[in-house]
Structures are given as C-alpha cells and as structure tokens.
Amino acid sequence: MKVRTAWLHALLVGALCALVFAARADGVDPVAEPKAADREVLVMLRLPPLHFRPDAGYVGGYATQPGSAARQRTAEALAAQFKLRIRESWPMPALGVDCFVMEAPEDLPLGPLIERMALDARVESVQAVNLFRVLAHDDPLYRLQPTATLWHLDELHRVATGRNVRVAAIDSGVELDHPDLRGRVVLARNFVDTRVGVAEWHGTAVAGIIGARADNTVGIVGVAPDAQLMALRACWQLPGDASAAVCSSFTLAKALQFAIDNNAKVINLSLGGPRDRLLERLLAVAASRGAVIVAAADPRFADGGFPASFPGVLAVAADDVHDAAEEIYLAPGRDIPTTLPGQRWGLVGGSSYAAAQVAGLVALLVDLAPEQNSRQIRESLNTSELSVTSPPHRAIVDACAAVAKTVGACACECRIARGGSALQAH
C-alpha cells in the first residue's frame, strides 16, 4: 500500500509541476487583442457566500470553492439553450455573482436575447458588453501651461505626497520600467489578455500624471509622488492611433473588482462610454467601501457621460471645456507633461489627464485626512466660496484651497471661509 501511495504522490507532484509550468508559459505568450464585443453578452449567475463545506479541503477563496463547477455547468446549459458560446468567466464576489462572457451568433439579435435570458430563473442579471474609450486628445499645439505651477505642487508636497494611499489607475498598460515610474507601481494586473509588461500610451501617461517619482533628476513629478499606484490594464491601445484605447464592460468590471478587493482608496477612470448596469453596481460597491472614484467627463455629453455622471463619482473635465455642467469639476487639461512609452516624456491634453491630476490630488487629501469618508473628500474639492474667478465657477479645482478645506490650514495660496472667518495663505 505504501508503494501505491508513493506512486500517487509522484503522479500528483508531476501533474502539479506540469500545471505550474503551463501557467507560467501562459503568462508570457502573447495572445490576440480582444475581439469586438458587439456579439457578446455578460451573464451573471449568483455566487453564494463562502460557507462551511467539508469537501472544500480547507480552501480559502471563491475561485476555488467547489460551487464554481456548478455555475459553470449552469452557464453551459444556458449557452446550449440560447445558442451561445462561453468565452470567459470571472468571479465578482463584490456583487455576489460569477460573470460569464457569452458570444452570440451573427443571426441572433442581442436585444430580444437579453430579454429572454433575463426571464430565466438561473440568471441573476444579463446585459450587452459595452465598449468605452479613453478621453484624450493629442494636439501638440496647446500652449504650455505647467500644472505644477497652477496647483503649487512644491508647496503641497511639503504637507502631503499621497503616502500609503492606494490609487488604482484603470486604463491601458503602463510602462513599469519607465525611469519616472520604476518602482512606483505596487500592483500591476492585465485584465485584457495574458501578456505581461504591456506598455501603452494612455495608461503610461495617466500613471505618470498621478504618481511619477519625485526628485529623481529626470522627467516630471506626479501629483501624488508617494501614492501606491495600482496599474490595472482594462483597456487596449488601438492600432494606428497610440493615444486611443478601448475597454469593455467585462475588462473594466474585472479591474474594478480587483481594485475593490485590494482596498483602492482612489479609483481613476479616464474613459467614457454608454451606461452600463454591471459597472454601475461595482462603482456603487466601491463607493460604499470608501473609495473615491474619479472619472473623466466626456465633452460630447453635457452631464459628462458614463461613468462620470454616475452618482458619487467625481467628474472632471479639462478647463478649456466651457459648457460643462455645474457638477463637473474643471482641472488643467492642456500641455500636461507626462511619461510616455519608450522611456519618453511628452505633452498631453484632454479630460483623461485632467481627471488623472484630480485623482492625484484626491490621494493627497486622503493622505492628509485618512479619517474622512469619500463624501467629505469629494466635498473638499468644492471650494467655490474661495473662488476669485468672475463670475465664480464652483467647479474649478483649486488644489491649495482643497487642501486648506481638508485640514483647516493653508498649505499654499488659498482663501477659505470656515465658520464665517477666512484663512489666508502666506
């Protein structure tokens, strides 16, 4: 019997080694970029809470609980019944669902399909896969307008640098070994494909604006140079236009779930697209757990589009947008120096980067007042009572005033009315 046990051990060790090797190999093999999502639906199946079951073998997580096989079986039955093909799945315990991506054949209209699937008792919810685009423009002729000067970053960094604040940049890939970003990203994940180290334009630019290393003799200084950056690749760069990238409901949902799981305090979404029920639910969970969500406002929509217009989300547009809704904050949006792939730097502009700067500023505010909740942090940015613009615009972000409002003392040029008295910076 001992001989048989030894053989069983040897067999299992060999199988495990083969699987480890296979898993590692998967991580470096490039795969094709995701297909267009116009034939895909997201089908959510209920994920029961983790609970005692003696056959689970002491496992700790949702992904390895035996019930995942049951949901896979249910998904296969649904796919067979509705003539779909399962492409991928992902547990989303923040919502209590397993999310399955299913592809419909060309001749099957998605609208009626979704309506029929929603009536099925096995389905928690179902929706189409939406596409989102990053909100940038790359006109190189914007006049130089250094944002560090407008926000007095040098002075702000004397009181806060975003230390220990986790900022999730949900975007395209970030060049992790860029001289201004090396060692600045504490967590990097790719939710688009299995490639590692994907360096893309938009994600690298956004990450640099938020948290590029300070005092390293090269490049720029991030708004929050000591924040803990999480580079979550949910968007992929389009061929032929380096500054353009798209993301899908599914990749964004996976990244949001990861940001929630890893206690991101600030989540930056420099992208926009149609309303999306799955993403709305995840944003609501993230906000309820204390994350401040910053989203770029799409200039094509008065309310900023989605996700900027979702309640509780801090919507940011570039300050050259003149018809933004009053709820949308305005931040410098032109000639912003930042990191670019290929160990380069360049000037960028657009609401994507305006939002990234505000995400960095929020990280500074959280650093200064970690006890404040996300609503208080958001409200700190509303410094209209200090506005010196004429007529006053409540939504122009004044970093010094926001810091002063958060801590009750001025860190740089600011004026604040609190309890009827004013604080004046020196």
Partner 1 sequence: MCGSGASAQLSGTLSAVSDYRYRGITFSDLRPAAQAGLTYDDPKGWYAGAFGSTVQLNPPGRSSSNFQTIVYGGYATRLSSGISVEAGGDYSAFAGSSDLNYGEVFVGGAIENVNARIYYSPRYFGQPPRALYGEINATLPLFDRVGLHLHAGFLRYSYDSPYLPLYGIAPTHNVVDGRIGLRADLDRFQLEIAWVGVSNHAAAYQITGRTSPNGVVAAVSFSF
The CA distance from 391 to 413, in Å, is 20
In the shown chain, the binding pattern of residues 96 to 135 toward partner 1, with x for contact by CB under 8 A and - for none, equals x-----------------xx-xxxxxxxxxxx--------
Q: By CB under 8 A, name the one of 31, 36, 63, 417 that touches partner 1.
A: 63
Q: By CB under 8 A, name the one of 39, 71, 178, 334 that touches partner 1.
A: 71
When asked if residue 29 is in the footprint of partner 1 (CB under 8 A), the reply is no
In the shown chain, the binding pattern of residues 174 to 203 toward partner 1, with x for contact by CB under 8 A and - for none, equals --------------------x---------
Amino acid at 87: R
Q: Do residues 201 and 341 lie in contact, with contact meaning Cβ atoms separated by under 8 Å?
A: yes
Who's near 257: CB < 8 A, 6+ residues apart?
90, 92, 93, 94, 95, 282
In the shown chain, the binding pattern of residues 201 to 240 toward partner 1, with x for contact by CB under 8 A and - for none, equals ----------------------------------------
When asked if residue 60 is in the footprint of partner 1 (CB under 8 A), the reply is yes
**Count residues contacting partner 1 (CB under 8 A)?**
66
Active-site hit among 89, 202, 243, 374: 202
When asked if residue 72 is in the footprint of partner 1 (CB under 8 A), the reply is yes
120 flagged as catalytic? no
The CA distance from 152 to 286, in Å, is 30
423: how many CB neighbours lie within 10 A of its CB? 16
Q: Could you give the C-alpha distances from 137 to 23, 171, 320, 335, in angstroms and in order?
A: 38, 15, 12, 11
Q: What's the closest the beta carbon of residue 64 comes to partner 1, in angstroms?
A: 6
Cβ nearer to partner 1, comparing 113 with 245: 113
Judged by CB under 8 A, the stretch of 43-51, 180-188, 198-206, 224-232 that binds partner 1 is 43-51
Q: By CB under 8 A, name the one of 28, 36, 38, 66 that touches partner 1.
A: 66
Cβ nearer to partner 1, comparing 179 with 312: 312
Q: Could you give the C-alpha distances from 8 to 12, 17, 56, in angstroms and in order?
A: 6, 14, 20
Active-site hit among 89, 152, 171, 178: 171
- Locate 238 and state its tokens: 């389009």
Q: By CB under 8 A, name the one of 53, 83, 158, 275 that touches partner 1.
A: 53
55 flagged as catalytic? no
Cβ nearer to partner 1, comparing 118 with 422: 118
Q: What's the closest the beta carbon of residue 112 comes to partner 1, in angstroms?
A: 12
Torsion sign across C-alpha atoms 7, 8, 14, 15: positive
- Closest by CA to 278, choosing from 298, 300, 299, 252, is 252
When asked if residue 389 is in the footprint of partner 1 (CB under 8 A), the reply is no
243 flagged as catalytic? no
In the shown chain, the binding pattern of residues 2 to 21 toward partner 1, with x for contact by CB under 8 A and - for none, equals --xx--xx--xx-xx--xx-
CB neighbour class for 140 (10 Å; exposed up to 12, middle 13-18, buried from 19): exposed
Per CB under 8 A, residues contacting partner 1 are 1, 4-5, 8-9, 12-13, 15-16, 19-20, 22-24, 26-27, 44, 46, 48-55, 57-64, 66-74, 93-94, 96, 114-115, 117-127, 194, 260-261, 277, 285, 288-289
Q: Which are the catalytic amino acids?
A: 171, 202, 352
